[in-house]
Amino acid sequence: MGLYDKTGTMVVSPIYEDAGHFSEGLAPVAKKVEGKDDVLWGYIDASGGVEIDFQFVADTGKFFCEPQEFSEGLAFVSSNGKEWGCIDKDGKYQINPQFEGRDVFPWSSPLQFRNGLALISQGGNLGYIDRDGKYAVNPQFTDAMRFAANGMAAVQNSDEKWGFINMEGKYEVNPQFDGIAVGYFGDVAFVEVSDKYGIVDVQGRYVLNPQFDAIRLYDLNQTRGVQSDYVDYEGLAKQLFVSSSRTEYLGYSKSTTLSDVIEDYPDLHLSSLDLYKLEIDTPKVDLGEFVEVSTMRIGFDGKTYTETPMYNTVRKWDSYYQTYYNEREFDRMEKKIQSTVPVAWLGHGLVLDRSGKGKGRAFADALKQEAAHTLGVSEVTDLGVENTDFKGIFALESEELVVFIRYDQEEGDASNPSCWITVVNSLYDEPFEEVKNDMVRRFKEE
């Protein structure tokens, strides 16, 4: 590492193995010992001049446990990597090495003074010392942060709950939080409870209740977040049924014809059209990143095409016998699309991008409620099926429609649940009662 000034002029050639930030006119830098792999740390000024000789070491057994920047005239250093004290800008120890080094992650409080106190580690616990090296707050916390400008610091006790203490070590806000994203910034702090983030004031009262999945404070170079397993089932269900009514689903009703479907999907390969149904691999149904919509199947009230024989045989003239003979038989038919055949049913699958016990059933419940509200269908309660957290089926019907909602998930919390929706209208060639019996029978067999 080296050093450029603001004009792009090189001030210090890149000769250092590592470096910290400038603070109070000095920056810690690391240099290899000649002929060895060892690294020693010293301090340079903004011109690159060495102000404090290379004599300090890092604790290589811990993350970023290195000689620190100056704060309030002092810098934490170690001569052996294990015991840490503070030097002044002349390189003289003002606090003798006696404290433990600790891992300093990007989100941890560094070994620096603030408001006259510094966070230190001793005996595996954290406490605070003053600029004379005396304990202001005895080491007793499993984790802690620096004191904020308002004189309060976030600390974690032995039961892993966080609270806030004053500079005398007394609790101003009792331990009650699962985590602290950022200690007090002005008069508010960002706290974590049950994997959600909220904001509290200096009395620990909520300014904003815990409800957010992440907090990003870019000005403070702070990012905190958890991957929430929360799913807005109701919102997803409403989004799915937005183009539906008491006589149609996803904009398709019994007055919708094959021609209408082809118009919606002009890139369909009709050569793969089945006699009574059509499969669409990429349906135009978008529920966002949390739900994958699988193949849509549309059934019709009648044949989707007719076949007209083009020719059955090819006959060749035999010049010897002066007659024709059959060289090869063919069975080639010409398809003619029946574009006016109406839709009788529609079905597709939904895969939820969240795992967890009961999520498939919760999603299916939300779909059932929205189907009842939007399609005007009522639940059939006598299916003779016992739904579980991992597998089940619902049926709902009206005079116009019968709706089936199935869900399935491997037992356990790791698999993503799937749901299937099938909507049948009165053009189907079987009465609704027979359709229900057939669907339930197949569900039980599977």
Residue with tokens 């950022």, as numbered in its chain: 182
Tell me the per-residue pLDDT of 415-433, one tens digit each, with 9 for 90 and over.
Answer: 789 999 999 999 998 999 9
Residue among 127, 123, 220 nearest 181 (CA): 220
Q: Is 53 left (phi over 0), alpha (psi -120 to 50) or beta?
A: beta
Residue with tokens 């942060």, as numbered in its chain: 145
What pLDDT is recorded for position 150?
Answer: 83
Tokens of 421: 């929706």
What pLDDT is recorded for position 273?
Answer: 85
Give yes or no for a contact between 111 and 121, defined as CB atoms under 8 angstroms apart: no
Give yes or no for a contact between 254 and 426, defined as CB atoms under 8 angstroms apart: yes
What pLDDT is recorded for position 156?
Answer: 93
What pLDDT is recorded for position 317?
Answer: 73
What pLDDT is recorded for position 163?
Answer: 94
What pLDDT is recorded for position 57?
Answer: 94
What pLDDT is recorded for position 227?
Answer: 52
What pLDDT is recorded for position 422?
Answer: 96
- Alpha carbon distance 266, 28 (integer Å): 66
What pLDDT is recorded for position 217?
Answer: 65
Find the helix packing angle between 359-375 and 233-240, rounded to 10°: 40
What pLDDT is recorded for position 377?
Answer: 95
End-to-end CA distance of the chain: 65
Instruction: Delineate the domains of the chain, giving CATH numbers in brackets.
Output: 1-105 (2.40.128), 142-228 (2.40.10), 233-303+339-445 (no CATH), 305-337 (no CATH)
- Alpha carbon distance 225, 186 (integer Å): 21
Amino acid at 377: V
Residue with tokens 């984790």, as numbered in its chain: 143
Give yes or no for a contact between 403 and 371, defined as CB atoms under 8 angstroms apart: yes
Tell me the per-residue pLDDT of 250-307, one tens digit each, with 9 for 90 and over.
Answer: 999 999 999 999 999 988 877 778 999 999 988 988 887 778 999 999 999 999 988 7
What pLDDT is recorded for position 133?
Answer: 93
What pLDDT is recorded for position 378?
Answer: 95
Neighbouring C-beta atoms of residue 378, cutoff 10 Å: 11
| Residues in the chain where the model's pLDDT stays below 50 | 221
What pLDDT is recorded for position 31?
Answer: 93
- Alpha carbon distance 164, 169 (integer Å): 9
Classified as helix, coil or strand, 103 is coil
What pLDDT is recorded for position 255?
Answer: 95
Amino acid at 333: M
Give yes or no for a contact between 421 and 367, defined as CB atoms under 8 angstroms apart: yes
Bridge partners of residue 407, in order along the sequence: 392, 419
What pLDDT is recorded for position 33?
Answer: 85
